[in-house]
Amino acid sequence: MIRRFRGLPLRSRLALLVAAAVAFAVTAAAVACWFVVKSVLVSSLDEALKANRMDSQQVSQYVNLRTGLCAHEPLTHEQNPFGSSVQLVDREGGSCLIIGKELVPLTDADHAVAEGESPDTLHDAIGSDGTKYRVFTYTVPRLQGVAVSAARPLGEVTSSLNHLALVLLFVAGAGVVGAGAAGLWVARAGLRPVDELTRAVEHVARTEDLTVRIPVEDDSDDEVARLSRSFNSMTSSLASSRDLQQQLIADAGHELRTPLTSLRTNIELLTRSEETGRPLPEADRKALLASVKAQMTELAALIGDLQELSRPDPGQHAGRTQILAWQDVVESALRRARLRGPELTITADVQPWYVRAEPSALERAVVNILDNAVKFSPEGGTIDVRLADGVLTVRDHGPGIPAEELPHVFDRFWRSPSARALPGSGLGLSIVARTVQQAGGEVTLAPAGDGGGGTVATVRLPGAPVPPPGS
């Protein structure tokens, strides 16, 4: 049963749940109403029996001490001023009918009233013909050893209760049917946005169209609206990611095409010279091989940069990050930069600073900044490196960067017109920006403001001058 229920559509389950809840509530209310009405009707019947008590004068005419109880014939219902059957009970257990046609069976409680042990009693009784009665037995002042027992049929109560039960049954059934219909309508109306979301997801899965958006009211903040906004945000992020991926592939293909074409041309020249039996002069051959080697190095660097950019966000892999001595990372990068620019003077003022970052990524970022400074520094120039209070500055004395090009320096594969003849893929600074942002810092490039020309690269990372305890 549970499996069948779970297999139903959500709107059908909601409608069934609403109908079941309403059925339970209506049934509980109907049963409570029936019992309350029954109690009220029985209480009214009891009050009517108590209100029509017989006094001693009315009873005495039926009591004769010599001849016994009921000296006169019973009154008929037409002569009955009390609206009930009445019989007398004595302390010996005898009884006689004074009003009505049938003696109602008495109980020990009725005899106890006749014996004076109790002033009165109320109970139900069943006659010989199966009729149910409500019986009220009471004592009469100034008459000892005699009690009056009045009985009224419960049919006048049960008849009303039966009619009430039919009415309640009809109302409950109509309420359940109405609740089921209302539940189905509410489920359809409430799940309409979910249907739209489902159709949108199916459309995206079928067509890979990430431009689909689900309309959401600005002032709506319910669960469905939040789900729709999340879906719209997800598709926007996926579309942006796909566009960036396509752009990266296109740019990478463009950057790879140039060295591959040059490499292919050089290899074809070497191959043709061997096939024709006319080898190239030794100097030309060495220059050609050096060019091939440089192009292979450029390809390897480009592939390495692409691998770096394709790595997932380190925030998703917190185990890769750790507390680092940034000054050690800078010193290691400085040693590599001095090897690449032996003709340059590189000054360094490095103070302790500890940051949380991925070791290899941070070192690569610092190396890229220094390589950029080495690349654009004139022969015999100076590069000033300073690390203090979590701020790394690298200042070169090269040609500088025009103001109109500064907004693009961190874009992937972007290179200024003056740098296109130099080796490089245009990915170095974008890797720097990505690494610094993932470490919670910021990086900027700006012209040097001291009048000496060149560019100043500034990297700020959060941290402290001493390592945290336990690191």
For the chain, the structural domain boundaries read 1-190, 223-310, 317-460
Structure confidence at residue 64 (pLDDT): 58
**How far is residue 49's CA from residue 3's CA, in Å, rounded to a whole number?**
58
For 317-460, CATH number?
3.30.565.10
DSSP H stretches of helix in 378-426: none
CA dist list (Å): 375 to 137, 140, 196, 348: 120, 127, 56, 18
For 223-310, CATH number?
1.10.287.130
Greatest CA span in the chain, whole angstroms?
165
pLDDT, one tens digit per residue, over 254-310 is 556 766 777 788 788 878 877 777 777 778 777 778 777 777 776 776 676 666 666
CA dist list (Å): 57 to 49, 61, 63, 140, 145: 18, 7, 10, 10, 15
Q: Global pTM?
A: 0.46
Helices (H) and strands (E) in the chain, counts: 11, 14
**Intervals of the chain under pLDDT 50:** 1-2, 65-67, 77-79, 81-82, 314-318, 420-421
Structure confidence at residue 442 (pLDDT): 92
**How far is residue 190's CA from residue 181's CA, in Å, rounded to a whole number?**
14
What is the side-by-side order of every strand in the sheet holding 442-447?
345-350, 382-388, 391-395, 455-460, 442-447
Does residue 32 come out as left (phi exceeding 0), alpha (psi in the -120 to 50 range) or beta?
Answer: alpha
Q: What is the rounded radius of gyration, in angstroms, for the C-alpha atoms of the chain?
A: 52
Are 433 and 444 a contacting pair, CB within 8 Å? no
Are 409 and 457 a contacting pair, CB within 8 Å? no
Are 168 and 152 a contacting pair, CB within 8 Å? no
223-310 matches 317-460 in fold: no
Contacts of 10 (CB under 8 A, 6+ apart): 187, 191, 194
Cβ contacts of 158-163, under 8 Å, gap ≥ 24? 158/132, 160/37, 160/41, 161/34, 161/37, 161/38, 161/41
- Residue by residue, DSSP assigns 106-126 as P-HHHHHHHTTS-SEEEEEEE
